[in-house]
Amino acid sequence: MIKVQSEDFDTGAELAALSRGRPEVGAVASFIGLVRDVAGSGELSAMTLEHYPGMTEKQLAQLEAEALARWPLDQVLIIHRYGRLLPGDQIVLCAATSRHRQAAFEACAFLMDWLKTKAPFWKLEEVNGESNWVAARQDDDDAAARWQTDQSSSKKNDVPETE
Amino acid sequence: MKLLYFAWLRDRVGKSEETVNLPASVTTVGQLTAWLARQSDGHAAAFDDPIGVHCAVNQEFARDDVPVGPDDEVAFFPPVTGGWGG
């Protein structure tokens, strides 16, 4: 399930809904990303997340399908917020449910790494009264690359170029 | 052709979207980028360094050799920076 929204989310309610009425699910793995108060050049006062409506949902749905194809999962959930957020605010929730923990853990880590390089979001940081667009990080590309399979690495057109 | 600009690409071009009529010589993303760079000072500032510019054709990431046509939706943007801080 994919949700792209400006409003906050209730992690407990979202995770409970994933396994409700599904007694075969034995594991729910999740990750929550938060806005930190540090930026490259000082203390961050706010961050605005811009995205490409339509493409965002399409790319996240492809991520969900890829995770479901790679691991024996029951469900995948990705919630990603956009708009102006403050330090401490929740940005993203990734979760995967399965019969056993290993598939849920691995799928969740995969979703987190690929989301950073595949989903069309851009961050505008407010630091010391100035607004600056955040540059992409090489280590995010490296983290995503560890999930490349022979099959997917042959489809390089799907992967954004690295800097 | 419908063009969309995001993040600092939009700031430099000065608009979030526009519709353009392509010359017949423009048939790929790479040719489109080179053509756009000559359309205004803002476009030149945005497309001056194509290394930092990513493209999507009909909402799929696209490299320079991907074909483009009048009915396509083409977006230009910096490398994506979604997710969280760390």
Q: Are A90 and A81 in contact (CB under 8 A)?
A: yes
Q: Which chain B residues contact residue A124 at CB under 8 A? A: 7
> From the CA of A26, how many Å to the nearest CA of chain B?
27
pLDDT at residue A151 greater than cutoff 70 = no
Average pLDDT, integer, range A7-33: 96
pLDDT at residue A109 greater than cutoff 70 = yes
Contact B56 A91 (CB under 8 A): no
- pLDDT score for A141: 74
Average pLDDT, integer, range A120-138: 88
**Residues with Cβ within 8 Å of residue B15, at least 6 apart in sequence:** B5
- Give the rounded percent of residues in chain A with a pLDDT score beyond 90: 71
CATH class of the domain defined by B2-77:
alpha beta
Number of alpha carbons in the 13 Å side-chain half-sphere of residue B2: 9
Please name the member of A54, A121, A161 whose beta carbon is closest to the beta carbon of B82.
A121
Q: A126: domain range?
A: 2-151
Element (H, E) at A118: helix A101-118
DSSP percent split of chain B into helix, strand, coil, nearest 5 = 30, 25, 45
Taking all residues of chain A, what is their mean pLDDT, rounded to a whole number?
A: 88
- pLDDT score for A156: 40
**Would you list the domain boundaries of chain B?**
2-77
Q: Which two tokens stand for residue A162?
A: 């690295």
A52 interfacial to chain B (CB closer than 8 Å): yes
Q: Which chain A residues contact residue B30 at CB under 8 A? A: none
CATH classification of the domain holding A59: 3.90.1170.40
pLDDT digits (tens, 9 = 90+) for B13-56: 999 999 999 999 999 999 999 999 999 999 999 998 777 899 99
In total, how many domains does chain A have? Answer: 1
